Chains A and B, each alone.
Chain A
């Protein structure tokens, strides 16, 4: 039983980490008032960049860095379109996903089905030998720990620093923030690139640690689930943790049930996370007041200033 629970929690943490990373990034982006629907595309580009660089150099550190750079580079295209050229953010985000899908498939065409670099699990000496708690809390790879650190950092930044206050002000009223003299576009650019880097990192986690290999469309909608998680958390970082782990658990369970040979068709079980996403969104969004109170007021709106 202990063995089962241990492997269950270890696997759930692995399944939840990419969701948590991508959603944390998107939360910061949205808090600055930018709705980037391209998370899925940025994750895919991150996944392929991380895998290719990891494979060619044999270094997972370089692979992870490449994944972040890949995601951030794509978010830069989005920023140019929406912040400089004032494009519709919904359309630009969709373009990012369509392009990211094709671009990652093209880049990864020669890398399907081969072994890449694998992010090692860090077994912290002594602590990782404690039954159950050891492997779960002290036997994960570095990105799992990093996802918690980043989440805590984002919480601290948003609510405990002046920079975070400015970022939230930009997301809630770009005109007021601009009138006080804050550089709205630069702040949004930074927030969007942070979101891109985190989506890339999430993709890199998929191709370097979770799977670990490259396959076309390997993120399978996780980018969209991450977007839903931000709504689920009503734009509050700490709530992301619960959401990401809930969905990680559902994703793992749907794999697990197939593994032990329960007589339910695997395709239908695979649909469970998407179904739960809809149900959870319905439960959260039904309370219009709660959404209105927490949603950044300028989310998705273009900002034009005659500077």
Chain B
């Protein structure tokens, strides 16, 4: 038998070793799932996680998929550090794409120097406004931002479907649910010609860097972290929780809107009903896997981008449903959460005949509990 014993403080080693262990366990778990689906596990894992990088253009594809994940992951890291549970990045991404796309469609002939900044601004504002609804609901009406941001995601997706099948549908599009292609002055510029690697791929790590500077080097970042970790201390310190919730929501929402903007003006080039394979939800995993650290989000974003490429590869080469991607992502988050116990607790082997033990207070609390019988005694 074993049990968990509090370390008394966070283990710096396991803070960083836990995601590594989680990734190893996830790869093993994915192999087992491949095996249960009748694939040879090693070649299947190779197809899923290695092959997409080896063949030509793999790294470019990875960068394109990673850009929205890194951006939103870094924004959510800041948000979750503040204990603001914005899980509606997908909706903020969608609305950012809608407002940016609307701007692109409204002024197709405007010169690039005018149109492109206007599009970026519209996208950021779109995402931020959706997040602002959740922030308002939380600070003024006490509504859980978890539920409100998620409901807004469903609404955003339906509004997108309405627009591309209704008023914004391309009259020349043979009835497909999509808008006209955006003009070249609305396009996100490519960094490397012919690869599809666009400006967003460069902006994403920069945003992560900025988030890191804000979180760890500024007074604002300090306040955000205190509100997240010790709300009572924040109240005594005179920090306005209300304002900090607003900051966290607006920043993460605006970034998600920007990610949506890059996606529709870059790789996609128009609005369709399917502008995101769940980037906003995957970004939640990116934030956690990156230890709620914006720089960590860069590495985590690359790994999760790989899981999308792997899902496509598994679909094409092995004939498997690309739901493998979400399974991989789900298992990864499970394993990560499981391994994280090692940060605050150590595993101790105990002999099973021990039936009573001295109760110890849990690490975050300091109330002495004293002697008591074990939990199973009636």
Q: Closest Cβ of chain A: how far from B33's Cβ, in Å?
A: 8
Most chain B CB atoms below 10 A, which of A92, A275, A285 = A285
Let me know if A277 and B147 touch, CB within 8 A.
yes
Let me know if B337 and A95 touch, CB within 8 A.
yes
Nearest-CB residue, chain A, relative to B154: A274
Most chain B CB atoms below 10 A, which of A87, A101, A102 = A102
Assign chain A's interface to a size class: 35 or more
Nearest-CB residue, chain B, relative to A269: B158
Q: Closest Cβ of chain B: how far from A233's Cβ, in Å?
A: 14
Let me know if A285 and B141 touch, CB within 8 A.
yes
Let me know if A88 and B334 touch, CB within 8 A.
no
Let me know if A109 and B321 touch, CB within 8 A.
yes
Checking A267, A304, A305 against B165 with a beta-carbon cut-off of 8 angstroms, the contacting residue is: A267
Q: Closest Cβ of chain A: how far from B156's Cβ, in Å?
A: 9
Let me know if B285 and A268 touch, CB within 8 A.
no
Q: Using Cβ atoms and an 8 Å threshold, which residues of chain A touch B324? A: 102, 106
Checking B141, B321, B375 against A305 with a beta-carbon cut-off of 8 angstroms, the contacting residue is: B375
Let me know if A305 and B359 touch, CB within 8 A.
yes
Assign chain B's interface to a size class: 35 or more
Let me know if A224 and B326 touch, CB within 8 A.
no
A191 on the B face (CB < 8 A) = no
Bound-state CA distance A304–B328 (Å) is: 29
A228 on the B face (CB < 8 A) = yes
A 179-220 binary contact with B (CB < 8 Å = 1; else 0)? 101111100000000000000000000000000000010001
B241 on the A face (CB < 8 A) = no
Bound-state CA distance A291–B144 (Å) is: 11
Q: Using Cβ atoms and an 8 Å threshold, which residues of chain B touch A304? A: 4, 6, 362-363
Bound-state CA distance A227–B87 (Å) is: 15
Let me know if B159 and A90 touch, CB within 8 A.
no
Let me know if A182 and B375 touch, CB within 8 A.
yes
Q: Using Cβ atoms and an 8 Å threshold, which residues of chain A touch B323? A: 101-103, 105-106, 109, 216
B288 on the A face (CB < 8 A) = yes
Please provide the chain A residues from 83 to 134 with a CB less than 8 Å away from any CB of chain B in the complex: 85-88, 90-92, 94-96, 98-103, 105-106, 109
Q: Using Cβ atoms and an 8 Å threshold, which residues of chain B touch A228? A: 147, 151
B333 on the A face (CB < 8 A) = yes
A77 on the B face (CB < 8 A) = yes
Let me know if B330 and A90 touch, CB within 8 A.
no
Let me know if B341 and A87 touch, CB within 8 A.
yes
Most chain A CB atoms below 10 A, which of B141, B161, B284, B358 = B141
User: Given that A87-B337, A95-B337 are known contacts, is A282 also in contact with B141, CB under 8 Å in the complex?
Assistant: yes
Let me know if A95 and B137 touch, CB within 8 A.
no
Please provide the chain B residues from 74 to 89 with a CB less than 8 Å away from any CB of chain A in the complex: 85, 87
Nearest-CB residue, chain B, relative to A276: B151
Main secondary structure of the interface of A (DSSP, over half): helix
Q: Closest Cβ of chain B: how far from A48's Cβ, in Å?
A: 11
Let me know if A102 and B327 touch, CB within 8 A.
yes
Bound-state CA distance A266–B360 (Å) is: 58
A221 on the B face (CB < 8 A) = yes
Q: Using Cβ atoms and an 8 Å threshold, which residues of chain A touch B321? A: 105-106, 109
Let me know if B338 and A85 touch, CB within 8 A.
yes
Let me know if A98 and B333 touch, CB within 8 A.
yes
Spot the interface stretch: B105-113, B221-229, B366-374. Answer: B366-374
A270 on the B face (CB < 8 A) = yes
Please provide the chain B residues from 313 to 334 with a CB less than 8 Å away from any CB of chain A in the complex: 321, 323-331, 333-334
Q: Using Cβ atoms and an 8 Å threshold, which residues of chain B touch A77? A: 334
Nearest-CB residue, chain A, relative to B273: A267
B 204-244 binary contact with A (CB < 8 Å = 1; else 0)? 00000000000000000000000000000000000000000
B353 on the A face (CB < 8 A) = no
A306 on the B face (CB < 8 A) = yes
Let me know if B326 and A99 touch, CB within 8 A.
yes
A238 on the B face (CB < 8 A) = no
Q: Using Cβ atoms and an 8 Å threshold, which residues of chain A touch B344? A: 86
Let me know if A106 and B137 touch, CB within 8 A.
no
Q: Using Cβ atoms and an 8 Å threshold, which residues of chain A touch B341? A: 85-87
Q: Using Cβ atoms and an 8 Å threshold, which residues of chain B touch A105? A: 321, 323, 326
Bound-state CA distance A77–B341 (Å) is: 15
Q: Closest Cβ of chain B: how far from A173's Cβ, in Å?
A: 12
Let me know if B330 and A183 touch, CB within 8 A.
no
User: Given that A179-B372, A267-B158, A307-B375 are known contacts, is A98 also in contact with B330, CB under 8 Å in the complex?
Assistant: yes
A271 on the B face (CB < 8 A) = yes
A178 on the B face (CB < 8 A) = yes
B176 on the A face (CB < 8 A) = no
Let me know if B85 and A274 touch, CB within 8 A.
no
A241 on the B face (CB < 8 A) = no
A 154-191 binary contact with B (CB < 8 Å = 1; else 0)? 00000000000000000000010011011111000000
Q: Using Cβ atoms and an 8 Å threshold, which residues of chain A touch B374? A: 307
Given A99-B330, A102-B327, A305-B362: 11 more A-B contacts, CB < 8 Å:
A37-B146, A90-B146, A100-B330, A101-B330, A105-B326, A106-B37, A106-B327, A221-B154, A265-B165, A274-B151, A304-B362
Q: Chain A residues in contact with chain B, CB under 8 A? A: 37, 77, 80-81, 85-88, 90-92, 94-96, 98-103, 105-106, 109, 175, 178-179, 181-185, 216, 220-221, 224, 227-228, 231, 265, 267-268, 270-271, 274-275, 277-278, 281-282, 285-286, 288, 291, 302-307
The 4 closest A-B CB pairs, nearest first, are A99-B330, A102-B326, A105-B323, A95-B333
Q: Chain B residues in contact with chain A, CB under 8 A? A: 3-6, 37, 85, 87, 137, 141-144, 146-148, 150-152, 154-155, 158-159, 161-162, 165-166, 281, 284-285, 288, 321, 323-331, 333-334, 337-338, 340-341, 344-345, 357-360, 362-363, 367, 369, 372-378
- A to B CB contacts below 8 Å, 18 in the list: A91-B333, A101-B326, A102-B326, A102-B330, A109-B321, A181-B375, A220-B154, A224-B151, A265-B162, A267-B159, A267-B165, A271-B154, A274-B154, A281-B148, A304-B6, A305-B362, A306-B5, A307-B375
